[in-house]
Amino acid sequence: MQIPSMRFTDTSRGRPFAKDPAVARLGDDYFLYYSVPPYGDGRESDGWSIGIATSRDLNQWHKVGELLPAEGVEAKGICAPGVLAREGTVHLFYQTYGNGPRDAICHAVSTDGLTFRRDPSNPIFRPTGDWNCGRAIDADVIAWDDRLLLFYATRDPNFRVQMLGVAAAPLASDFSRTTWTQLGNEPILQPELAWEQECIEAPALCIWEGRLVMFYAGAYNNAPQQVGVAVSGDGVAWTRLWDEPFLPNGQPGEWNSSESGHPFLFTDSDGTTHLFFQGNNDGGKSWCLSRHRVEWSGGEPLLGVS
């Protein structure tokens, strides 16, 4: 395996902890959004929050702020951001936390990457149908033709198996609640391979040679979670590229021996593709974020030197 660049974490909660990366670019600045846990000391708005860091080179990151949970559906916390920079605006799609099957996807916008205005219709999406429990987490979005596709993780009605679904909204819309249409009435990808165990989550999308490529997390955290790849021509029907993980967890003693998980695909303005992911070697007591550059050969991804 190529050695990845970047090992970013956040120590504001008294231990190294940064999960669920998402990256966008505004001008010359890169913005990293990630999950941080509660302080645990009883302070106001002490729930899961979204940290914000900036960089000029994708390697050296400096924390510059946080998006804290608001009242209402966000009161117990927010996390697992997905992000899209479009026409000078950062669209943040994130989940509520701590509400079980009632957790859902919310939306906020920013023109500076730091201060966000929440969508008044939040939460903007949760799935329907008897194939799922009504929950939506781990959003990732991508522009495809004239629509924005929103990929999410949900669980079966027994709240045991994690799987993926997709919804769409017109690209010219404001992405508020009434603009989203769920595509299909079944999961688009669910665990089938041994290493995926009972979980597929954290969809991470890019477009390569006219088709959608999804990097996804298989297995629950520290089981170990690892990263697989699937491809699609429409965002609904998916085919795995391999039966084995594209990005496995590390060997015993390595920084990511407990997992390499929760991927995010960032495509830069020069067309280069970067795979961000989380890892740890202590069963989830700490977390840090890393990055691989992705190279392409014959339409398939390869781990490159970052």
| Assigned token pair, 113 | 């990457």
Fold type of domain 12-304: Tachylectin-2; Chain A (2.115.10)
Q: Give the single-character DSSP code of 48.
A: B
Tell me the mean pLDDT per 10 residues along the chain, length 306.
Answer: 79 96 97 95 82 96 96 95 97 97 98 98 98 98 97 98 98 98 98 98 97 98 98 98 97 96 97 97 97 94 82
In angstroms, the CA 273 to CA 263 distance is 12
Burial class (CB in 10 A: 0-12, 13-18, 19+), 109: middle
What pLDDT, on the 0 to 100 scale, is given for residue 213?
98
195: closest CA among 107, 140, 100, 259? 259
- Looking at every residue in the chain, the average pLDDT score rounds to 96
Q: Give the single-character DSSP code of 104.
A: -
Tens-digit pLDDT profile for residues 163-207:
999 999 999 999 999 999 999 999 999 999 999 999 999 999 999
What pLDDT, on the 0 to 100 scale, is given for residue 2?
57
In angstroms, the CA 193 to CA 210 distance is 27
What pLDDT, on the 0 to 100 scale, is given for residue 306?
61
What pLDDT, on the 0 to 100 scale, is given for residue 230?
98
Q: Omega of the bond prior to 224 within 30 degrees of 0, cis?
A: yes
Domain boundaries, the chain: 12-304
What pLDDT, on the 0 to 100 scale, is given for residue 56?
97
Please enumerate in sequence order all residues whose Cβ is within 8 A of that of 254, keeping only pairs 6 or more positions apart, or say none: 281
The pTM assigned to this predicted structure is 0.97
What pLDDT, on the 0 to 100 scale, is given for residue 305?
67
